[in-house]
Amino acid sequence: MQASGAAARAEATLAPVRGSLVKEREFPTELDVVGQEPRIGAFICHCGINIGGYVDVPQVVEYVKTLPNVAFAEENLYTCSQDTQEIIKAMIKEHNLNRVVVASCTPRTHEPLFQQTVREAGLNPYLFEMANIRDQCSWVHMNEKEAATEKAKDLVRMAVAKARLLTPLKELAVGVTNRALVIGGGIAGMTAAIELASQGFECFLIERQGELGGNSRRVHETLEKGNVQELLENTIQRVEESKLIHVFTNAKTKEIDGFVGNFKTTIESNGQEHTLEHGVIIVASGGEEYEPTEYQYGKHERVLTQLELEQQLATDSLQADNLNSIVMIQCVGSRNEEKPYCSRICCSQAVKNALKIKEKNPKAKVYILYRDMRTYGFREDFYREAKAKGVIFIRYDEDHEPQVRTKKGKFEVEVLDLILNKKIVLNPDFLVLSVGIVPQSEREELAKMLKVPLNEDGFFLEAHVKLRPVEFATEGVFVCGLAHSPKPLSENISQAQAAAAKAAVLLSKDSVVSGGYVAEIDKEKCKGCGLCVQACYFGAISSNEELGVSEVNPVLCKGCGNCAAICPSGACQIAGFRDEQILSQVEAYI
Amino acid sequence: MMDNTQEQDFEPRILGFLCNWCCYAGADLAGVSRFQYPPNMRVIRVMCSAKVDPIYVMKALLSGVDGVFIGGCHIGDCHYIRGNFYARRRATMIKKVLEILGLEPERFRLEWVSASEGAIFAEVMKDFTQKIKGLGPSPLRKEIKSGQGSK
């Protein structure tokens, strides 16, 4: 995440020269091979001795020549070498080849190379097939030349069988609206918008409340003594001054339509309806402080949350000088069956406020009742500082939660100290509850509109926790801030920058291109059962109720094939992996 | 199922569907690492184990292929997020159908092999080939055309 965030800052610096060194590749016009008999050219590679030393390549070539529709076959020392690429192109022209099979290494590394060669000779790159006779043949059957050669023959025969049925495939390009929509005007949302604007992209920033800032409005200082209100003011100023960021407050999202590069969102803001067109969406809808029901919160004015304590310390309505003692209880409403997750910041928050109190009144007794102190990383230094300044940390466990009673308006906090194994009774003036962060109350509606998932704790679920932490599986939608997970301000800012970086990649393109291997639905065969719609994780298939069929959006389709396998009528096929193509490979083996 | 010494000499003919992102890559890694395994399987590459229509498996088995293998990503790691869950369900169904038809369900195998598990892929190949050898040639085996496939 930090890496992507850093990339965002670098992208901003390079924005003015974006694309200036890009040269467009020139290809000859693609030949029309529709209706022609397949004329397959087969190139069998020795790969030095990697294949040639363990498979009888000349024998394979002679065998391939006997196969129907093979118009040309030869062996090469290294099929991937530059001079062999020229030979392939020459042979395509000389023998009017309209399909090419290469038997060599793995398509996972070399398919793109040969596809480009074929394209340079004027053939559609999808008229190409490979047989893996090295990584999955010569290299793993090094002591069985006869068997390895037979296997190579079979694999080439199967590749030729499929090649006969290959058809040219198109890569569809759809234009990209290079504007962004950022949902949420807290620090994360504003940071993402500012990053995108600094790269030259226009942004719509929508905020459901009347003013920008979100949760940060209630935070004064970070544990590291960073001035949050100043940061907030600066951020809002940058947003308001930016010509590229259009802010809508009191905004409610009514509808989100479209797909990556082509979204259309309808919002209502301050009584007016707006339809916004944009290419990407960044979800920064935030989180909320958990409102506790525990420990008489709401019923007693001296029971506070950490945020409320921070506020009272800042305005000194707490009168810290007169404070005798204060007890903080960690993990209130967190790490239990209902909310099993840890909110990451509450221990730091408690230490922050404890240090603040000690600063104002070193004699005040501060007790922190904790289950685990999660002041991670460099925050550990502040934990040590708090201990050194006399803050008393008492460990409790979830089976023996602190009990709080009020006697004559005074608090009586009873806790089992696990180290002394004795019950301790404290009489603080104030009781402070460290509560966690919960998902924003309107997230479900938003998730539905965006067609993105929530995890079991109600936060937005990213595509991959390590490899894609700010993206959704649905392309073009990104997430950052508390909407994704509880974390401190600095991490939310990093994540927002990362989301902007990823979004900018899309926005900097003129078009999104769908791959050639996409699902296609034959309207004649489709009966509109909708199984494919359900099977698609990427939202690429939708029901057309008017026609009674399902339809694929090739830009969103990833080509996995689940829809094709689930289709009861065979209407849904994956181009390049059609049933008849795969079955031809099966039959070539049987 | 045949019960004589003939089956000890028989070389199983196995068809495998490997998913591009995990199992096919794992098989490539086995090659790069030079892990040796029996040469009995022919691979058809698919993008996801979810692409494998049970018809492909049935066609192969009913035509006399001795064993069919599907290789995909580990549960939770599918490149297309949840394709392998569907593959798993289809595999269960295929086994049931084979049982009903009276063909040994062990002739069909679904295995999760990640892109880094080259050694495991080689072991699975050895194991599956061995198991199919033990089961003997498919009762549906036809005469193998000359110049085609292993003996």
Give the model confidence (pLDDT) of A262-292 as tens digits.
Answer: 999 999 999 999 999 999 999 999 999 999 9
Decide if A169 contacts A576 (C-beta within 8 A): yes
Q: Quote the CA–CA distance of A227 and A223 in Å, as a whole number.
A: 10
Single-letter residue type at B109: R
Q: Averaged over A491-516, what is the pLDDT? A: 95
Q: What is the pLDDT of residue A76?
A: 97
Is A362 strand, coil or helix?
A: coil
CB spacing of B35 vs A140 below 8 angstroms = yes
pLDDT band at residue B1 under the 50/70/90 scheme? very low
Cα separation of the two ends of chain B: 19
Residue A417 has pLDDT above 50, yes or no: yes
Q: B139 to chain A, minimum CA–CA distance in Å?
A: 14
Distance CA A404, CA A165 (A): 76
- Encode pLDDT of B94-108 as tens digits: 999 999 999 999 999
Interval A112-160: pLDDT, tens: 999 999 999 999 999 999 999 999 999 999 999 999 999 999 999 999 9
Structure tokens given for A545: 């109720």
What's the confidence (pLDDT) of residue B147? 47
HEC states along A24-91?
CCCCCCCCCCCCCCCCEEEEEECCCCCCCCCCCHHHHHHHHHCCCCEEEEEEECCCCCHHHHHHHHHH
**A454 three-state secondary structure:** strand
The partner residues of A251 in beta bridges, in order of sequence, read: A269
What pLDDT does A267 receive?
97
Give the distance from residue A120's alpha carbon to the nearest chain B alpha carbon, in angstroms: 25
Sheet of A202-206, strands arranged across: A245-248, A202-206, A179-183, A280-283, A477-479
Using the predicted structure, report yes or no on whether residue B146 has a pLDDT greater than 50: no
Mean pLDDT score of chain A, rounded to an integer?
95
Reported in sequence order, the residue ranges of A396-473 that DSSP labels E, i.e. its strands, are: 403-407, 410-417, 422-426, 430-435, 437-439
pLDDT level of residue B8 (50, 70, 90 thresholds): low
Q: How confident is the model at residue A25 (pLDDT cuts 50, 70, 90)?
A: confident
Mean pLDDT value of segment A95-110: 96
A562–B86 CB contact, under 8 Å? yes
Interval A438-449: pLDDT, tens:
999 999 999 999
Amino acid letter, residue A473: A
Q: How many CB atoms lie within 10 A of CB A337?
A: 6
Torsion of the alpha carbons at A47, A52, A55 and A56, rounded to the nearest 10? 130
Residue type for position A514: S
Q: Read off the tokens for A229.
A: 């209100």
- Residue A259 · residue A556 · CB < 8 Å: yes
CA distance A517 to chain B (A): 9
Taking contacts as CB-CB distances below 8 angstroms, the residues of chain A near B113 are: none
Task: Assess contact for A295 and A328: CB atoms under 8 A.
Answer: no
Whole-number percent of chain B with pLDDT over 90: 82
Pairwise CA distance, residues A166 & A128, whole Å: 8
Instruction: Give the per-residue pLDDT at A24.
Output: 86
pLDDT reported for residue A143: 96
Query: Which residue in the set A583, A587, A589 is minimally distant from B42, CB to CB?
Result: A589
Q: Assess whether pLDDT exceeds 70 at residue B4.
A: no
What is the mean predicted confidence (pLDDT) over A174-181?
Answer: 96
Whether A563 has a pLDDT exceeding 90, the answer reads yes
CA separation for the pair A499, A128 (Å, rounded): 37
pLDDT at position A270, please? Answer: 95
Mean pLDDT of B26-54: 97
* A490 has pLDDT over 90: yes
Per DSSP, the three-state class of A539 is coil
How many other C-beta atoms can be found within 10 angstroms of the C-beta atom of residue A362?
9
Mean pLDDT over A496-515 rounds to 94
* A168 secondary structure, DSSP code: -
Measured CA to CA, the distance from residue A84 to residue A44 in angstroms comes to: 11
Asked if residue A466 lies in contact with residue A488, where contact means CB atoms within 8 angstroms, the answer is: no
Q: Which residue, chain included where needed, has tokens 């026609």?
A: A547
- A213 forms bridges with which residues in the sheet? A186
Comparing A19-23, A52-56, A249-253, B114-118, the range with the smallest average pLDDT is A19-23
Q: List for chain B the helix, strand, coil content (%; round to 5).
A: 45, 15, 40
* Residues of chain B positioned with their CB less than 8 A from the CB of A566: 86
A560·B47 Cβ contact <8 A: yes
Cα–Cα distance measured from residue A36 to residue B129, given in angstroms and rounded to the nearest whole number: 41
At residue B65, φ and ψ (nearest 5 deg) are -65, 140
Q: Of A535, A344, A340, A343, give the one whose Cα is nearest residue A456.
A: A340
Residue A154 with chain B: CB contacts under 8 Å = 42, 148-149
Q: Taking 60 as the threshold, does the pLDDT of residue B145 lie above it?
A: no
> Does the pLDDT value for residue A488 go beyond 90?
yes
Q: Work out the pLDDT band at B144, boundaries 50, 70, 90.
A: low
